[in-house]
């Protein structure tokens, strides 16, 4: 393997290539993660028994979105980050397991029922019938883990997901600081192979390792 003598290798490389590649991969990865999470988010298809639904079907799935790519600094260094999230308050109860718990009428329902001289009751459809109860003892739920499952899926796909961005990175790495490399005919742009002049420069400044100092 050769090395370049009398000049730092980084002086020959486009200093913005790494930044551009990193940002592009985070942007693409965030979009893929949001899509994968939506696909894994369940939609309630249980019958309502004619009762009005407070939430349209698919509300949680439609709420999953991604934020912008932002600069990020950590103990590992500087880079880029992007959040995939939902602001739907139901989200945590679908993502994670829930323990057995009680469901009671909300304070608003209790106040309205008291003003009307009646007891606040829950109304729900169960086993083909509309039922009423002052309190429901919920057995708990098994979380769907849509965010965790999507992240695990994406982790496996990473080596194949960014082939286009990595190929562009390899081309951009040797382009000029101004974003263009021009060959002797005046043609060229970011992403082209090294032009003849740059190749000649590398050959003339390269010493085989076997002859190196």
Domain residue limits, the chain: 2-98+141-211, 99-140
Supply φ then ψ for residue 211, to 5 degrees.
Answer: -105, 0
Confidence of residue 84 (pLDDT cuts 50, 70, 90): very high
Q: What does the pLDDT read at residue 169?
A: 73
Structural contact between residues 141 and 98, judged by C-beta atoms closer than 8 angstroms: yes
Q: What does the pLDDT read at residue 178?
A: 39
Percent of all residues in the chain with a pLDDT value above 70, rounded to a whole number: 69
CA pair distance 23, 206, nearest whole angstrom: 32
Question: Would you say residue 49 has pLDDT above 60?
Answer: no
Give, in degrees to the nearest 5, the angle at Cα 64 between 81 and 162.
Answer: 45
Sorted by sequence, the CB contacts under 8 Å of residue 160 that are 6+ apart come out as none
Supply φ then ψ for residue 150, to 5 degrees.
Answer: -65, -40
Q: What does the pLDDT read at residue 149?
A: 94
Give, in degrees to the nearest 5, the angle at Cα 137 between 133 and 143.
Answer: 130
Q: Which of 97-106, 107-116, 169-178 has the lowest mean pLDDT?
A: 169-178
Q: Which of 18-22, 28-32, 183-187, 206-210 has the lowest mean pLDDT?
A: 183-187
Sorted by sequence, the CB contacts under 8 Å of residue 144 that are 6+ apart come out as 40, 41, 42, 94, 95
Q: What does the pLDDT read at residue 177?
A: 42
**3-state per-residue secondary structure call for the chain:** CEEECCCCHHHHCCCCHHHHHHHHHHHHHHHHHHHHHHHCCCCCCCCCCCCCCCCCCCHHHHHCEECCCEEEEECCEEEEECCEECCCCCHHHHHCCECCEEECCCHHHHHHHHHCCCCCCEEEEECCEEEEECCEEECCECCCCHHHHHHHHHHHHHHHHCHHHHHHHHHHCCCCCCCCCCCCCCCCCCCCCCCHHHHHHHHHCEEEHHHCC
Of 31-45, 50-64, 110-124, 181-195, highest mean pLDDT:
31-45
Q: Is 0.85 surpassed by the pTM of this model?
A: no
Question: Would you say residue 96 has pLDDT above 70?
Answer: yes
Q: What does the pLDDT read at residue 155?
A: 84
pLDDT in tens, 111-134: 998 899 998 888 776 677 778 888
């Amino acid at each position: 393997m050769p090395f370049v003598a009398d000049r730092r290798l980084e002086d020959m490389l486009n200093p913005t290539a790494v930044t551009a590649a990193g940002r592009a991969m985070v942007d693409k990865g965030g979009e893929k993660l949001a899509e994968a999470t939506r696909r894994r988010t369940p939609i309630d298809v249980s019958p309502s028994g004619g009762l009005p639904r407070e939430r349209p079907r698919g509300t949680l799935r439609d709420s999953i979105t991604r934020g912008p790519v932002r600069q990020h600094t950590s103990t590992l260094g500087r880079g880029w980050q992007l959040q995939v999230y939902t602001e739907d308050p139901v989200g945590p109860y679908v993502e994670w397991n829930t323990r057995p718990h009680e469901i009671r009428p909300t304070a608003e329902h209790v106040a309205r029922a008291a003003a009307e001289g009646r007891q606040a009751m829950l109304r729900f459809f169960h086993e083909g019938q509309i039922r009423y109860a002052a309190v429901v003892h919920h057995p708990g739920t098994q979380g769907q883990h849509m965010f965790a499952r999507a992240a695990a899926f994406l982790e496996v796909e990473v080596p194949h997901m960014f082939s286009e961005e990595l190929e562009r990175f390899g081309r951009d790495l040797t382009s000029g600081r101004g974003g263009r490399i021009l060959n002797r005919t005046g043609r060229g742009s970011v992403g082209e192979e090294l032009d003849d002049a740059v190749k000649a420069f590398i050959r003339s400044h390269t010493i085989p390792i076997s002859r190196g100092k």
